[in-house]
């Protein structure tokens, strides 16, 4: 049995972000930077170039960084790329798709949706039919990895359909960028949105948008907000090399270091393979305890896994969370509306030997010990 006393190390974050970061990334934040300094501006420029390279850009897109969380960046992308008279189609199979729909309503952009069950993948055929049926739709906004359930949506298939109809595509790649390949040479995307605190394993506080240059050049005047106007941010950076408003300097420096480690690891293929191993170890270990994952393996992204909550009357998530945290791991509550679940992330610097106390095997052991401590006998959920 594991020691129930609170661990001396920081708990491992098995969440959809923020993530556990490396010591090198943390240490990068120990220096203060002047936001107008040449050295800091070089860091910003280096990050912008590196992020485009992660997506295999062939000179067609621009990287526009933005202060704030990933949702800030998604809202900025929609507000900048979609004209005020635009019409956005959002396929919805989870909470983050619903958030995009809510953003469209706030921005007073015309909205249509295609609604799916929470364990169903978006179908490119449905988008094809809707675009053929309603030519007034100007853009499709797709969540690549919907971490409400952990499902991976078919980006390339959707992109081909959207391009066939001559519409714009905005991709929320918040939980996939850096771990799942996104190749801008293979398909047409107006904007890909990511953030510092996800698969690149930086810290939260900066979003970024890879925008097709030809699209960005005609976006002047679209934005509802000065602070979130990506056209204005881009033009100012191109002219001055600086951010318009005070940047999150420590976050930027940490991301620069995190990208350096990403490249040392072997880039997206290596990062994705590590997360896939984490995911396999997690699902295998949890199934051995009797837990059921919400999604079939074929739809499961190697980012975050949703598990059915135990059917035992002694189970209560808050205590379950607290007990696992005492053993050195932080889980995440479920995001589904129909069934009770909890989520465990597979990304981040879980550190050291993946079979050791700070890896996935250690996380499963902490959960097993918690189940025993709480007296949970019936783990399998009624589905």
- Provide the pLDDT confidence category of residue 3 given band limits of 50, 70 and 90: very low
Residue with tokens 């909205």: 111
Burial class (CB in 10 A: 0-12, 13-18, 19+), 338: exposed
- Band (pLDDT 50/70/90 cuts) for residue 382 is low
Give the mean pLDDT of the chain.
93
Percent pLDDT > 70 in the chain is 95
Q: Cβ(161)–Cβ(141) under 8 Å?
A: no
Q: pLDDT band at 337, cuts 50/70/90? A: low
Q: Compute how many other C-beta atoms are within 10 angstroms of the C-beta atom of residue 5.
A: 8
- Closest by alpha carbon to 100, among 152, 144, 155, 63? 144
Task: Output the pLDDT for position 8.
Answer: 54
pLDDT per residue over 112-145, tens digit each?
A: 999 999 999 999 999 999 999 999 999 999 999 9
Identify the weakest region by mean pLDDT among 4-18, 160-174, 283-297: 4-18
CATH class for the domain made up of 12-16+267-374: alpha beta
Q: Check residue 97 and give its pLDDT.
A: 96
177 has pLDDT over 70: yes
Task: Identify any residues that bridge with 330 across adjacent strands, giving them in sequence order.
Answer: 13
pLDDT recorded at residue 68: 96
pLDDT at 354 over 70: no
Closest CA to 143 of 106, 184, 186, 180: 180
Q: How far apart are CA 14 and CA 20, in angstroms?
A: 8
Q: State the architecture of 23-264 in CATH terms.
A: 3-Layer(aba) Sandwich (3.40)
Q: Is the pLDDT of residue 48 over 80?
A: yes
**pLDDT classification of 14: cutoffs 50, 70, 90:** very high
The torsion angles phi and psi of 170, rounded to 5 degrees, stand at -115, 125
CA–CA dist 175, 54 (Å, integer): 14
Which residues have a Cβ under 8 Å from the Cβ of 138 and sit 6 or more positions away? 82, 83, 86, 87, 88, 167, 168
Region 169-177: what's the mean pLDDT?
97
Mean pLDDT over residues 158-169, rounded?
98
Q: What is the pLDDT of residue 1?
A: 43
Residue 21 pLDDT greater than 60, yes or no: yes
CA dist 52 and 42 (Å) reads 16
Whether pLDDT at 328 is above 50: yes
pLDDT at 4 over 60: no
Q: How far apart are the C-alpha atoms of 8 and 18, rounded to whole Å?
A: 20
Q: Where are the domains of the chain?
A: 12-16+267-374, 23-264
Q: Which residue has the higher pLDDT, 135 or 352?
A: 135
Decide if pLDDT at 355 tops 60: no
Name the band, by pLDDT with cuts 50, 70 and 90, for residue 358: low
In the predicted model, what is the mean pLDDT of residues 29-38? 94
Give the model confidence (pLDDT) of 185-196 as tens digits. Answer: 999 999 999 999
Phi then psi dihedrals of residue 372, to 5 deg: -65, -45
Average pLDDT rounded to a whole number, residues 209-235: 97
Give the global pTM. 0.94
Residue 74: pLDDT over 90: yes
Whether 148 shows a pLDDT value over 90: the answer reads: no
């Amino acid at each position: 049995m594991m020691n129930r006393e609170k661990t001396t190390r920081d708990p491992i974050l098995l969440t959809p972000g923020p993530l556990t970061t490396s010591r090198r990334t943390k240490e990068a934040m120990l220096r203060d930077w002047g936001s107008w300094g040449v050295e800091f501006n070089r860091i910003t420029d280096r990050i912008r170039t590196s992020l485009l390279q992660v997506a295999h850009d062939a000179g067609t897109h621009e990287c526009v960084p933005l202060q704030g969380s990933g949702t800030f960046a998604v809202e900025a992308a929609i507000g900048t790329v979609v004209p005020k008279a635009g019409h956005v189609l959002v396929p919805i199979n989870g909470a983050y798709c619903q958030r995009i729909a809510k953003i469209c309503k706030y921005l007073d952009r015309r909205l249509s949706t295609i609604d799916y069950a929470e364990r169903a993948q978006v179908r490119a055929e449905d988008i094809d039919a809707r675009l053929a049926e309603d030519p007034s739709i100007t853009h499709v906004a797709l969540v690549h990895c919907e971490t409400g359930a952990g499902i991976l949506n078919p980006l390339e298939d959707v992109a081909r359909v959207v391009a066939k109809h001559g519409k714009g595509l905005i991709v929320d790649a918040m939980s996939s960028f850096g771990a799942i390949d996104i190749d801008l040479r293979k398909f047409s995307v107006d904007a890909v949105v990511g953030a510092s605190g996800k698969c690149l394993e930086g810290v939260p506080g900066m979003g970024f948008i890879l925008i097709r240059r030809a699209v960005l050049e005609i976006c002047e005047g679209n934005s509802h907000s000065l602070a979130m106007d990506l056209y204005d941010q881009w033009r100012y950076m191109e002219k001055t090399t600086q951010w318009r408003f005070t940047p999150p300097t420590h976050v930027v420096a940490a991301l620069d270091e995190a990208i350096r480690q990403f490249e040392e690891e072997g880039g997206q293929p290596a990062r994705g393979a590590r997360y896939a191993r984490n995911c396999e170890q997690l699902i295998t270990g949890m199934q051995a305890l009797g837990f059921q994952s919400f999604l079939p393996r074929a739809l499961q992204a190697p980012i975050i896994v949703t598990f059915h909550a135990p059917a035992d009357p002694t189970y209560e998530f808050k205590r379950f969370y607290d007990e696992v945290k005492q053993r050195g791991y932080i889980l995440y509550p479920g995001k589904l509306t129909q069934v009770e679940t909890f989520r465990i992330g597979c990304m981040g610097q879980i550190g050291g030997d993946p079979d050791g106390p700070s890896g996935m095997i250690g996380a499963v052991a902490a959960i097993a010990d918690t189940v025993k401590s709480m007296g949970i006998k019936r783990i399998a959920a009624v589905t």
